[in-house]
Amino acid sequence: MSSEGEVRRALGAIVLPAFGRCVSSLNLIRAVRLSDSGVELQMAAVAMNEPEQHALKTRIVKELKKLPGIDKVELTFVPGRPSELNEISHVVAVMSGKGGVGKSLVSGLIAIGLKRKGYSVGILDADITGPSIPRMFGLTQKPSACAEGLFPVLSASGIAVMSVNLLLGNEGDAVIWRGPLIGKAIKQFWEEVFWGKLDYLIVDLPPGTADAPLTVIQSLPLNGIVIVSTPQELASMIVRKAISMAQQAHSRILGVVENMSYLYLGDIDRKIAVFGPSRGAELARDAGAPLLAQIPIDPNLAALCDSGHIEDCQLDAVKKLALVADLLEK
């Protein structure tokens, strides 16, 4: 006789080709009831028409009958909405009052670091008017959709991504929306996207302390915020505004990341403080949080981001940024 766990594992491993994700990652199993001779299942039928349901059922029955003691499989499809199916353990927002300091880069590198540690990870690109994530990860396909919601697009290493740029006809198209619409889009990316089961959802915020960060802080169950800055004093002055906003909202600041810390010229072994001396430690002190990483200016990194191969990044910072997982356990 098989246990419920064995049934769930066998069922969960079945991959749905349309989404490139398995049943368990999409969190489609709604109920498993074992009886003497078999199993009764309820499964969410998201974005599946009847022939697709039928085909999936055939595969499931075949797989489960391989298990000892399972002779009969009764499978019922039930409707499923993202709000019922999503199980996201941790939500981390990446924020900075200042634009162009590398929030998207840091969001991407945190996600990559966590993924390399074996976690399931998603990125919600909340930068509605200036979304950079799809380009960095080389994503151009349109998200699948059904009446209940949208499916994230998967990166090469399996990071689930949702971004307004995946929905536009042309990535250079402008999204000319006022604040309330932007807030609505972010809420939809949270409520109407089939994220499924995720250990970590990284939210890449736009610059400023206006609608988008406000919406994220007020509507998403944030577990922590990572602050990004650069050495320039002018930048750190504006980043302090983001820290002040996070503190006013009683959000937990997990750590500070300094981007563009220095330029390293390997051939003459020289470090150049292009934007002035580091202010990361000082900013971390003000934020009451550790300095997680200092990322150098690196033409290779810029090229990886431009060409959609950020997942090939071998910088030390990737490992350091994955420490947010440990910080969240504290």
Contact residue for a second copy among 273, 281, 312, 316 (CB under 8 A): 273
Distance, in Å, from the CA atom of 326 to the CA atom of 330, rounded to the nearest integer, reads 7
Question: Could you tell me the smallest distance in angstroms from the CB atom of residue 288 to a second copy?
Answer: 15
Using an 8 Å Cβ cutoff, are 295 and 246 in contact? no
- Cα torsion for 267, 310, 322, 188, to the nearest 10°? 150
DSSP 67: S
Q: Which is nearer to a second copy, 25 or 259 (CB)?
A: 259
Contact residue for a second copy among 74, 87, 233, 316 (CB under 8 A): 233
Question: Could you tell me the smallest distance in angstroms from the CB atom of residue 279 to a second copy?
Answer: 10
Contact residue for a second copy among 139, 182, 284, 323 (CB under 8 A): 182
Site string for a second copy, 78-117 (x = CB under 8 A): -------------------xxxxx----------------
**Span near a second copy by CB under 8 A; candidates 25-33, 151-159, 260-268, 322-330:** 260-268
**Span near a second copy by CB under 8 A; candidates 23-31, 57-65, 76-84, 225-233:** 225-233
Using an 8 Å Cβ cutoff, are 168 and 177 in contact? no
Distance, in Å, from the CA atom of 330 to the CA atom of 318, rounded to the nearest integer, reads 20
Contact call for residue 130 and a second copy (CB under 8 A): yes
Contact residue for a second copy among 209, 223, 261, 294 (CB under 8 A): 209
Q: Going along 263-325, which residue ranges are E strands? A: 263-265, 270-272, 291-294
Q: Going along 177-269, which residue ranges are E strands? A: 197-204, 224-229, 253-258, 263-265
**Span near a second copy by CB under 8 A; candidates 7-15, 16-24, 128-136, 314-322:** 128-136
Contact call for residue 284 and a second copy (CB under 8 A): no
Site string for a second copy, 15-54 (x = CB under 8 A): ----------------------------------------
Q: Which is nearer to a second copy, 48 or 305 (CB)?
A: 305
Structural element, H or E, at residue 241: helix 233-248
Q: Going along 217-319, which residue ranges are E strands? A: 224-229, 253-258, 263-265, 270-272, 291-294
Question: Could you tell me the smallest distance in angstroms from the CB atom of residue 227 to a second copy?
Answer: 12
CA proximity to 183, closest of 201, 205, 168, 202? 205
Structural element, H or E, at residue 43: strand 38-44
Contact residue for a second copy among 86, 132, 155, 223 (CB under 8 A): 132
DSSP 80: -
Contact call for residue 305 and a second copy (CB under 8 A): yes
Contact call for residue 155 and a second copy (CB under 8 A): no
For Cα atoms 94, 142, 56, give the angle at the middle one, nearest 5 degrees.
105
Question: Could you tell me the smallest distance in angstroms from the CB atom of residue 83 to a second copy?
Answer: 25
DSSP 253: E
Secondary structure class of 100 (helix, strand, coil): coil
Site size toward a second copy, by CB under 8 A? 59
CA proximity to 295, closest of 317, 270, 318, 326? 317
How far, rounded to the nearest angstrom, does the alpha carbon of residue 31 sit from its chain's CA centroid? Answer: 27
Contact call for residue 179 and a second copy (CB under 8 A): yes
Contact call for residue 235 and a second copy (CB under 8 A): yes
Binding footprint of a second copy on the chain (CB under 8 A): 97-101, 128-132, 135-136, 171-180, 182-183, 206-211, 214, 230, 232-235, 237-238, 240-245, 248, 263, 265, 268, 272-276, 297, 299, 302-303, 305-306
